[in-house]
Amino acid sequence: MTCLKGVFSGGPRKYNISQVTEERIRSIVYGNCIGDALGLLTEFMHKPNIEKVYGEHRASGLKYSHKVKDRHRGRWVIGDWTDDSDQMICIMRSLAQKKNLVVTDIAEAFYDWSNEGFPQLKDTGGLGLGRTTYLVLSEKDYLTKPEESAKRVWIDSNQNAAPNGGVMRTSILGIYEFQDLNKVAENTVKVCRVTHYDPRCSASCVAVTIIIAKMLQRIENKNQTEFSDNDIEEILNETYEFTCKYIFENEEYTADLKSDKLDQFKADFKTYFFIKKDGLEELKLDEPAKIGYTFKCMASGIWALKQGDPEKALTDLIMEGGDADTNGAVAGALLGCRYGLNRFPKHWIDDLAPLPVNFLEKNLNKFISTFFLTPE
């Protein structure tokens, strides 16, 4: 598997980040894709049915090949991921190509992907596109004014639409400019609002990217390779305070809210953010009509981050059902950052679909070379 070798083959380092930092960056991206691909096994399923279909595999370990080939899941080859990671790759490619964050270029990347997928992979369209993203991309001036398009769709929902289509793809923005938390947050909100305007969407995205950036800072600046539970709690507490101030105490992101909503949103954020280590079932991830709530997805990732075993964490999360690929994508990225891919089952890496993996690896290498290459 090329994601963890080749670049670590000895000789002089060509990157201005440590080998461990580079490995964790790759683990975040691959973790996003792994959690996404595994989550497809149970996406949109209810927990009792999941136990009937996949329960026998829990003890021996979930594999991509266990996937039931129904009308929904049959659209993807075994070991492929879905729109969650595809859109993350759209962001990553835009950043590398422009060598900067250009909102309209990312909007165009989403638009092109929604229509044709990745032609290099012989896609015929962007599979799995969510309703909110579809509505925003359908606005006439989307390509030139994506945030205004997203705002109109949000207002039309009576400020109620806060789905997880932003947080599912956001992990790459915890890597880009990770040494500057304010830039991470600024970039994160800009990209979130390309399709998702609700401040709850922004808050969930910022929470995830700041957690990632804080871990990467410790890895790079303090040579920290392992994170204790106390370390994670410290990072989470700092992230909560940062996110509340950056989003909910910032008129730029709350001025459009109806008067009765801000306190409700802040309280909801706190409840979901501080999910207990044993609180997975309390999320009710397969709850009808609520599976796509952005705070549920954020909380899924934070719950997973608190666990001691990446395989068990992702397995338990995915067996809860609901929007499992999206929950898995966020959880996989956070687990990849904390533990590295060497703590993931080897077959979860090796059994990813080859064609998408080669495409991912090419674009990930370009991203890392663009932003972390030592100047000659």
- Binding-site residue numbers are 82-84, 323, 325-326
Angle at which helix 324-339 crosses helix 199-222, to 10 degrees, equals 20
Phi, psi for 357 (deg, rounded to 5):
-65, -45
Name 144's Cβ contacts closer than 8 Å, sequence gap at least 6.
104
Tokens of 228: 């204790």
What is the rounded distance in angstroms from the CA atom of residue 39 to the CA atom of residue 315?
9
Give binding residues for Mg(2+) as ranges: 82-84, 323, 325-326
DSSP string, 78-116: TT---HHHHHHHHHHHHHHHHTS--HHHHHHHHHHHHHH
Phi then psi for residue 69, to 5 deg, are -95, 75
| Under 8 Å between Cβ of 175 and 131 | no
C-beta of residue 344 within 8 angstroms of C-beta of residue 309: no
